[in-house]
Amino acid sequence: MSPNLDTRDFIRNHTRVQPVPSLPHIEIYQADQVTPLWLSTENDLSKQGLAPPFWAFAWSGGQALARYIHENPKVVAGKRILDIACGSGLVGISARLSGALSVLCNDIDPYAEGAVALNAALNGVSVSFFGTDLLKDSLPDVDIILAGDICYEREMTDAMLSFFGRALGQGIEVYIGDPHRSYFPKSGLRKLADYAILTNIDIEDTAVKPASVWYLETSQ
């Protein structure tokens, strides 16, 4: 469904447009210390069964992957892209700006749909959004899957790796951006790039966080 007006208004009222720290040519709606989104909405979001507002931050793994795409546009040029667990849509937006034929952003948080719509409009690109849990669904008709910062919980990591394994079996390429999270897999990937990512010290443990981009070669 299309993001409703209340969702878009909520995002506008609780975040502000800022450049992505490591990709200043891209602007998205972001929360920061001045905007107390996380604490002020955590209880309400929990009551509604929603995840915390991950869509309101430019996470390190997503920034690294978006930057890699920006620096290597031939990876996505003319390709059909899935940005899974997309949050703000940063990675998908970077792919569209880099010449992707189409981008499908996917996230189960309905607020992410509004964030993606607003952020895509800010950057003058069009992307699609799909709110169903793809990890339990059929693979979409895409050429490449992009996944930024998806290894922060063991259960999520295992589910993602299983999904990626199915994708590889259908000839879909998988690129992952990760800031050395605890549950990141130790095998089956080829490192493509390392970055020192500027980030928000309120959501990470440092203002500059190392992050890498990986290409999935074998299923786990």
In DSSP terms, 130 is beta-bridged to: 106
Angstrom distance (rounded) from CA 21 to CA 58: 8
DSSP 153: S
Q: Residue 35 contacts by C-beta under 8 Å, 6 or more apart in sequence? A: 14, 15, 16
Angstrom distance (rounded) from CA 75 to CA 187: 22
Residue type, 54: F
With H, G, I as helix, E, B as strand and everything else as coil, classify residue 94. helix
Angstrom distance (rounded) from CA 34 to CA 212: 29
Whole-prediction pTM: 0.90
Angstrom distance (rounded) from CA 100 to CA 93: 9
Residue 213 CB neighbour total at 10 angstroms: 27
For residue 5, what pLDDT is reported? Answer: 54
Residue ranges of alpha helices (H) inside the chain are: 5-14, 37-47, 60-71, 90-97, 110-122, 154-169
Domains of the chain: 5-216 (3.40.50.150)
Residue type, 141: D
Residue by residue, pLDDT tens for the chain (220 residues) are: 345 557 888 889 888 999 999 999 999 999 875 556 655 555 555 555 556 678 988 999 999 999 999 999 999 999 999 999 999 999 999 999 999 999 999 999 888 999 999 999 999 999 999 999 998 888 999 999 999 988 888 888 899 999 999 999 999 999 999 998 888 888 899 999 999 998 877 677 777 889 999 999 976 5
For residue 2, what pLDDT is reported? Answer: 47
In DSSP terms, 23 is beta-bridged to: 20
The dihedral built from the CA positions of residue 11, 147, 180 and 163, taken in this order, carries a sign that is positive
Angstrom distance (rounded) from CA 210 to CA 81: 25
CA distances from 182 to 7, 28, 150, 175 (A): 33, 27, 11, 18
For residue 129, what pLDDT is reported? Answer: 97
